[in-house]
């Protein structure tokens, strides 16, 4: 699909799919992620885990409490080298989105753990691990939300960031991000939030059930690029493998202070 057609889809649907990384680069990222997990694993439950065994993470019998400790929002991020970061920031299409929506392409990669606690990391990207739902008492999916409300505060400037979701393991509709096309065109009411223990502001089922959702299929190395006002979440893992994915947020360097 041509760049202008992708841009049209992004603006009209609120998302598009684009090849970002090569197969070799995805394997490098998996290795970086595995090293980070072992660093976060204070109890050494993952010390023998190999890169080809990541999809079987759910078989390690790690209790929910410790799983959440490993994956705290404040620490579940990885740092990529410059060449991998450049695959994102120098991508012609991503820059086309920025120029079209922001009027420029000056961006910053940041990971926001909590705005209230000023937990913000530069030049790192987030990751998630979602175990198969059928093996869990509680699911690993965050409720329906938008990225303008992530981090415990609310931003009304829809040009403050662009989000990328990159699957490392799990590419079919059983695994991929659950999104609501065209929902980015709506001004979502903040009085429809429900109380949760996460820093993400999640919408009530009463509100989001009127929207249609889909889970696009992706290929290895592809990213789902989506608007920060697009409804997404409840991305339950209905497969047999543990899903690993990256969350990249490119912030508008000029408008980023409006977030706070």
**Which residues have a Cβ under 8 Å from the Cβ of 190 and sit 6 or more positions away?**
149, 154, 201
For 222, the domain range is 3-259
170-204 per-position pLDDT tens digit? 999 999 999 999 999 999 998 999 887 667 889 99
Written as six digits, the tokens of 222 are 């592809």
Triad 163, 165, 167: Cα angle to 5°: 170
- Number of structural domains (the chain) is 1
- To the nearest 10°, the Cα dihedral for 12, 15, 21, 26? -170
| CATH number, residue 52 | 2.60.120.620
What does the pLDDT look like over 83-105, one tens digit per residue?
999 999 999 999 999 999 999 99
Residue 203: strand pairing partners: 193
Q: What is the pTM of this model?
A: 0.94
Per-residue pLDDT of the chain (260 residues; tens, 9 = 90+): 688 888 999 999 999 999 999 999 999 999 999 999 999 999 999 999 999 999 999 999 899 999 999 999 889 999 999 999 999 999 999 999 999 999 999 999 988 876 666 678 889 999 999 999 988 877 788 999 999 876 556 677 788 899 999 999 999 999 999 999 999 999 999 899 988 766 788 999 999 999 999 999 999 999 999 999 999 999 999 999 999 999 999 999 887 665 54
Residue 116: which residues within 8 A CB-CB, separation 6 or more? 151, 152, 153, 199
Q: What pLDDT, on the 0 to 100 scale, is given for residue 26?
A: 97
Query: The tokens 């695994």 sit on which residue?
Result: 175
d(CA 6, CA 13): 10
**Do the Cβ atoms of 149 and 229 come closer than 8 Å?**
no
Give CA–CA dist 149/77, Å, rounded.
Answer: 19
């Amino acid at each position: 699909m041509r760049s202008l057609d992708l841009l049209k889809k992004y603006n009209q649907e609120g998302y598009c799919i684009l090849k970002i990384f090569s197969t070799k680069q995805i394997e490098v990222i998996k290795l970086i992620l595995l090293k980070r997990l072992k660093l976060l694993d204070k109890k050494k439950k993952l010390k023998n885990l190999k890169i080809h065994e990541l999809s079987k993470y759910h078989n390690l019998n790690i209790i929910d409490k410790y799983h959440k400790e490993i994956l705290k929002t404040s620490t579940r991020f990885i740092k990529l080298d410059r060449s991998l970061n450049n695959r994102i920031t120098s991508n012609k299409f991503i820059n086309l989105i920025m120029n079209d929506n922001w009027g420029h392409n000056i961006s910053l990669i940041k990971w926001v753990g909590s705005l209230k606690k000023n937990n913000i990391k530069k030049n790192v990207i987030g990751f998630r691990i979602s175990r198969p739902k059928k093996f869990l008492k509680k699911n690993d999916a965050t409720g329906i939300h938008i990225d303008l409300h992530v981090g415990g505060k609310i931003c009304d400037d829809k040009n403050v960031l662009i989000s990328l979701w990159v699957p490392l393991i799990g590419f079919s509709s059983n695994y991929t991000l659950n999104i609501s096309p065209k929902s980015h065109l709506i001004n979502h009411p903040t009085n429809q939030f429900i109380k949760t223990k996460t820093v993400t502001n999640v919408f009530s089922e009463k509100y989001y059930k009127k929207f249609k959702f889909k889970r696009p299929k992706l290929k290895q190395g592809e990213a789902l690029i989506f608007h920060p006002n697009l409804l997404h979440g409840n991305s339950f893992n209905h497969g047999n493998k543990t899903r690993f994915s990256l969350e990249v947020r490119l912030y508008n360097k000029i408008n980023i202070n409006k977030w706070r």
